[in-house]
Amino acid sequence: MEAFIWEEPNGLRVEQDQETIAVTIREGRGKTVWWDVTGPGRAELALLESLGFHPLTLEDLEHYTPVPKVEQYEGYHFIVTHALGYDFETQRVQAPEIHLYVGTNYVISVHEGPCPPLDEARRRCRQHPAAILGRGVAFVLHAILDAIIDQYLPLADAWAERIDRLETSIDPELAFPHDPRHRRGRPDHPDCPPGATTTTRRLLTRISRSRRALSQLRRRIVQQRMLVETLLNEDAPLLNRWVRPYYRDLLDHLQRAEDMLETTRERLNSVMELYVSVQNLLLAELSTSMNRTMERLTGVATLIMPLTLITGIYGMNFHHMPELHWRWGYYAVLFIMLGLGLGIYGYMRRRGWV
């Protein structure tokens, strides 16, 4: 835990003693303080309480708040915001919470565990302390929010690349729709690409999870945009006219990230519709093939039925059957069966049944 303290004309000073930081915050005039608190314990919470922060805000520090918010108290603002990420291995949205106390001369950030956006904001403060800390708490708050929002566009780009790979994995389904070995997921076709092993159930599950994740990420970005809009619309003089253009630039970045995720989600919907259409086409082709097979089997059965009838009649063991004692009866029955079979076959052939 450390604090950046800017004071004219001495410039930037890094302080780690908590009591000294608290005294500097209470002094109030001529100094700008950014104190970053990681994993607050009882000592840190007691120190924050001694600075006069409302008990409800201290209670929020111990509980996760899923929606960003801005609350105005006497002498300071309490802001809840979130960093944003996505773990492609576990397929989970990551939104670590960041609490901000913004007073007239201080910004106190409180969070659990490492936070790369805040590390980046601290790096910028070290490199350009006069441009950030030297211009007041509104610019410090902007540096923090800007570092958080800067992670949104790379995240949207990563999702666009993921959808590109997903479209590539579906290409084999379109390239080999008639290959039964490919449809069963066995890549033994010599021209079958590596992505052909994706099964229907696995691919649809992947698409469904991606759609759900994109919806969650877009909702988070919309909430963050509403947070910045609330700061810009706030009646209290937290943002003066010199800093407002920088916050409007944050809105532009958020809108770009939101549009990119929405475009990616629409592409994903198109991919799912295309894949379902291909699967329906394969099912229709399979149904047509089965119908043709049934037609052939029906034709064979129709051809055999009269022949079976004749053999059944003359296969009965009755004594008084004149044809059984006729010298040419056997050959006559064979000739009749052959002629009848050829006649039926010819008729079905002309009708296109076989």
pLDDT at 183: 45
pLDDT tens-digit map of 313-328: 777 776 777 777 777 7
Last residue of a domain, one of 148, 168, 194: 148
Last residue of a domain, one of 107, 131, 148: 148
pLDDT tens-digit map of 104-133: 889 999 999 889 999 999 999 999 999 999
Q: Where are the alpha helices (DSSP H) in the chain?
A: 18-27, 42-50, 55-61, 116-127, 129-132, 137-149, 152-175, 180-183, 200-233, 244-313, 329-350
Measured CA to CA, the distance from residue 215 to residue 104 in angstroms comes to 37
Measured CA to CA, the distance from residue 219 to residue 194 in angstroms comes to 35
In a shared domain, residues 174 and 196 = yes
In a shared domain, residues 168 and 282 = yes
What is this structure's pTM? Answer: 0.73
In a shared domain, residues 179 and 141 = no
pLDDT tens-digit map of 242-280: 888 999 999 999 999 999 999 888 888 887 777 777 777
Highest mean pLDDT among 13-17, 167-171, 195-199, 288-292: 13-17
pLDDT band at 236 (very low <50, low <70, confident <90, very high): low
Would you say residue 181 has pLDDT above 50?
no
In a shared domain, residues 276 and 295 = no
The parent domain of residue 189 ranges over 152-288
Last residue of a domain, one of 148, 168, 195: 148
pLDDT at 172: 54
Write the single-letter amino acid at 38: T
Hey, how many other C-beta atoms are within 10 angstroms of the C-beta on 119? 11
For the segment 92-111, the average pLDDT, to the nearest whole number, is: 92
- Phi-psi sector, 7: left (phi>0), alpha (psi -120 to 50), beta: beta
Contact 254, 152 (CB under 8 A): yes
Domain total for the chain? 3
In a shared domain, residues 168 and 262 = yes
In a shared domain, residues 126 and 188 = no
In a shared domain, residues 330 and 284 = no
pLDDT band at 222 (very low <50, low <70, confident <90, very high): very high
Helix (H) or strand (E) holding 199: none
CATH of the domain at 282: 1.20.58
Would you say residue 164 has pLDDT above 50?
yes
Measuring CA to CA, how many Å separate 342 from each of 226, 295, 337, 352?
A: 82, 18, 8, 15
In a shared domain, residues 33 and 130 = yes
